[in-house]
Amino acid sequence: MNTSQTQTKRKQIEDLKLGELDMVYLLARIGNWQDSDIARVYRLSECDVRRVFSNYVELRRALEIRQQHETFSRESLTVTQKRPRKRRSDARYSTSAERQATYRARLKERRLAGSYHPPRSADMDAASSP
């Protein structure tokens, strides 16, 4: 592999997510991993791994602020991009209260219609004789 290809695949410290920054710091702090192994896994340079370890508090604070700013800007974009709900062109009801009242009346009619049972034909015959 060329060095130019290797450099394009490498991340910068600013490209790390918060969890990745924490893991790089913890692995360097524990000491079971060498800087070269951490750099290979997280695609950083060994110099960046040492910089993360030495400046962890400042880097974490800056990353949290950047993520809050990105989250805020993403939320503002979604609010402004929201389209209004599509309404019927031939609106039957002018208010939601009117629509709800009509719906409740329909339910009541169905309930009453369902409770009415016509008399059986045998009962009709028995009632009409003698």
Q: What is the pLDDT of residues 69-118, one digit of tens each?
A: 777 776 666 555 667 777 666 677 778 888 899 999 999 998 888 776 66
pLDDT at site 119: 63
How sure is the predictor about 4, in pLDDT bands with cuts at 50, 70 and 90? very low
Q: Is the pLDDT of residue 22 over 90?
A: no
**Buried b or exposed e, range 69-94, using 16+ CB within 10 angstroms:** eeeeeeeeeeeeeeeeeeeeeeeeee
**Buried b or exposed e, range 44-62, using 16+ CB within 10 angstroms:** bbeebbeebbeebeebeee
Q: Is the pTM of this model over 0.75?
A: no
pLDDT at site 17: 83
pLDDT at site 81: 61
d(C-alpha 29, C-alpha 19), whole Å: 15
**In the numeric block, which tokens belong to residue 9?**
């695949």
- Give the start-to-end residue ranges of the domains of the chain: 3-80
d(C-alpha 67, C-alpha 62), whole Å: 9
Q: Is the pLDDT of residue 123 over 60?
A: no
